[in-house]
């Protein structure tokens, strides 16, 4: 599902760091060796059809590399 983040992220939390991330080997291979963190937060997203809705997002982040692989985990009412 393609989407665009509208506005900023809020209520950001770290949910895993380094070897606690299942896909850390893939992240290091694709984007580089760094201290990877898995994070979650809330944001407004615009879906392909133009609908804008609040959603919980998960992504990976590393200092100097940035945020990668955003995923929508659930839509909020």
HEC profile for the chain?
CCEEEEEEEEEEEEEEEHHHCCCHHHHHHHHCCCCCEEEEEEEEEEECCCCEEEEEEEEEEECCCEEEEEEEEEECC
pLDDT at 45: 97
Mean pLDDT of 50-58: 96
pLDDT at 1: 74
Distances (CA, A) of 10 to 13, 29, 49, 57: 9, 29, 24, 10
Domain edges within the chain: 3-75
pTM comes to 0.91
């Amino acid at each position: 599902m393609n989407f665009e983040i509208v506005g900023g992220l809020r209520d950001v939390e770290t949910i895993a760091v380094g070897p606690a991330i299942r896909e850390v080997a893939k992240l290091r291979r694709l984007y580089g060796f760094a201290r990877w963190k898995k994070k979650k937060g809330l944001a407004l997203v615009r879906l392909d059809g133009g609908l804008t809705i609040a959603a919980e997002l998960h992504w990976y982040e590393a200092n100097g590399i940035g945020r990668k692989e955003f995923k929508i985990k659930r839509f909020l009412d």
